[in-house]
Amino acid sequence: MTEGARVLLGISIPAAASILTLFNVSFPIYRHPADESPPLRRFSPTVARIREHVQKVLDHPVNHVLIQHYRNGADYISEHSDKTIDIVRESKVVNVSLGAQRVMTLRLKRDGMHQEDGGTTSRPSQKIPLPHNSMFVLGLDTNMRWLHAINHDKRPIHQKSAEEQYMNGERISLTFRHIGTFLSRDESRIYGQGGRGKTYDTARPVISGGEEAAKLLEAFGKENQQSSFDWKEVYGGGSDVLHFTPREP
């Protein structure tokens, strides 16, 4: 963990962030446009209990959670679509909020607006309050058509509601996903839904930087921009990229 917000390609990640997951001979990996990921840890007993409840609601497993600490209204995440190369098809993403209420903003992707009316009106948006102990469920169809964000909230504390002031304005966000791509325990090989090798026995060496990394970043950009994103065409062949810049041997 580090102090100060970590900015990743325009996405501000609050300082205290970590990933909890299941470990065995391999572990699930969720890739997004950042070259550094928070530390990977096993599920704690508390998070495991929350995970059990999430799975009951979804009726499908989740094996990965990103935990983020929003220290105050200055911490934010700019609008984006979740990158789905590693998320199991037809599953859902769940965000559990603890602490101060923040607002999730959904905005229709620009090309979706062009398809509907030629882009003559402003893009529709929705604002969804996320109070303490709430659960926000994001379907992958919605993720494909809409961008989502937690925007800055720089209002003085006295202008905020009791829900927004709760826990001194601090919020813990837990984002659960069902991941279908895996790394070997030594992080040297990758396989599964988002890899070129689909099974443990056909796992391939991870790639750092180079042309393949540039291609994956380009694919991530398309997913952010296209409301009719063709998953099979863009991601179907898989990618073995783990890091977007070269690494020392």
Cα–Cα separations (whole angstroms), residue 158 to 162, 165, 168: 9, 9, 12
Q: What is the mean pLDDT of residues 73-85?
A: 96
Q: Does one domain contain both 217 and 136?
A: no
pLDDT in tens, 5-51: 222 222 333 434 555 555 567 899 999 998 677 778 889 999 999 99
Q: Does one domain contain both 61 and 122?
A: yes
What is the residue range of 205's domain?
185-243
Q: Does one domain contain both 99 and 221?
A: no
How far apart are the C-alpha atoms of 64 and 31, rounded to whole Å?
12
Q: What is the mean pLDDT of residues 158-164?
A: 95
Extract long-range pairs of 109-118: CB within 8 Å, 24+ residues apart: 109/81, 109/145, 109/146, 109/147, 109/225, 109/226, 109/227, 110/225, 111/225, 111/226, 111/227, 111/228, 112/145, 112/227, 112/228, 115/227, 115/228
Picking from 136, 156, 177, the residue at the C-terminal end of a domain is 177
Q: Does one domain contain both 157 and 36?
A: yes
Let me know if residue 249 belongs to a domain: no
Q: Does one domain contain both 191 and 131?
A: no
pLDDT for position 12: 36
Domain count, the chain: 2
Give the pair of three-digit tokens for residue 181.
């791509």
pLDDT for position 152: 94
Q: What is this structure's pTM?
A: 0.87
Confidence of residue 119 (pLDDT cuts 50, 70, 90): low
pLDDT for position 22: 52
3-state secondary structure of 187: coil
